[in-house]
């Protein structure tokens, strides 16, 4: 009971619309995703996935997301675990956490390097910790050097390398002990 109350308290504090990385954060609102956001989230991901993962994944591995319904299915199954960042009513970034796992940090390329990814990661880490976990994990494609640097700069450590058979690429599993 107390853990649930603490978790809600933490998330409410973190989701408040406060600039934490200079003035650029003032234009963005962070909030829990709602069912009405599903089409906007799918649009964000579908619009940018080929640019982000095209250099990393084989074309056949991307097709279910770029040409099929996989993105829509994934978002419909996970939106309750998502946090969105909005600017002027447009969803420009999204993150998701599942138990002790950071499942997604996605920022539209036009909005990168403004602190959005870091803020979203902070929120997801707080949710994980508020759920009673003291460590967290994530996985990202090993060839995504920018993402690896981002996570390492935020205190994440490489735990292992694994082959993602479905994607046909190596992924790096990372972990972090969440601070008190």
Report how many domains make up the chain: 1
- Please report whether residue 149 resides in a domain: no
What was the pLDDT predicted at 90?
93
What was the pLDDT predicted at 78?
93
Read off the pTM: 0.84
Domain around 36: 2-133
- Please report whether residue 143 resides in a domain: no
Q: For the chain, what is the HEC assignment? A: CHHHHHHHHHHHHHHCCCCCECEHHHHCEEEECCHHHHHHHHHHHHHHHHHHHCCCCCHHHHHHHHCCCHHHHHHHHHHHHEEEEEECCEEEEEEEEECCEEEEEEECHHHCCCCHHHHHHHHHHHHHHHCCCCEEEEEEECCCHHHHHHHHHCCCEEEEEEEECCCCEEEEEEEEECCC
Question: How confident is the prediction along the chain (180 residues), in pLDDT tens digits per residue?
Answer: 444 444 444 444 444 443 333 334 678 999 999 999 999 999 999 999 888 888 888 888 888 878 878 888 999 899 999 999 999 999 999 999 999 999 999 999 999 999 999 999 999 999 999 999 999 999 999 999 999 999 999 999 999 999 999 888 999 999 999 976
What was the pLDDT predicted at 66?
84
- Please report whether residue 175 resides in a domain: no
């Amino acid at each position: 009971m107390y853990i649930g109350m603490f978790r809600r308290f933490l998330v409410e504090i973190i989701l408040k619309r406060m600039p934490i990385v200079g003035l650029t954060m003032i234009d963005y609102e962070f909030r829990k995703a709602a069912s009405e956001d599903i089409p906007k989230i799918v649009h964000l991901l579908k619009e940018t996935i080929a640019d982000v993962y095209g250099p990393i994944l084989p074309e056949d591995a991307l097709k279910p997301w770029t040409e099929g319904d996989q993105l829509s299915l994934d978002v419909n199954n996970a939106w309750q675990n998502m946090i969105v960042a909005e600017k002027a009513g447009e969803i420009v970034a999204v993150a998701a956490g599942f138990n002790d796992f950071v499942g997604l940090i996605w920022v539209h390329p036009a909005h990168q390097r403004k602190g959005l990814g870091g803020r979203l990661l902070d929120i997801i880490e707080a949710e994980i910790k508020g759920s009673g976990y003291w460590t967290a994990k994530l996985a990202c494609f090993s060839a995504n050097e920018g993402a690896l640097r981002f996570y390492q700069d935020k205190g994440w450590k490489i735990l292992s390398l694994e082959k993602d058979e479905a994607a046909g690429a190596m992924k790096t599993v990372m972990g972090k002990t969440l601070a008190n």
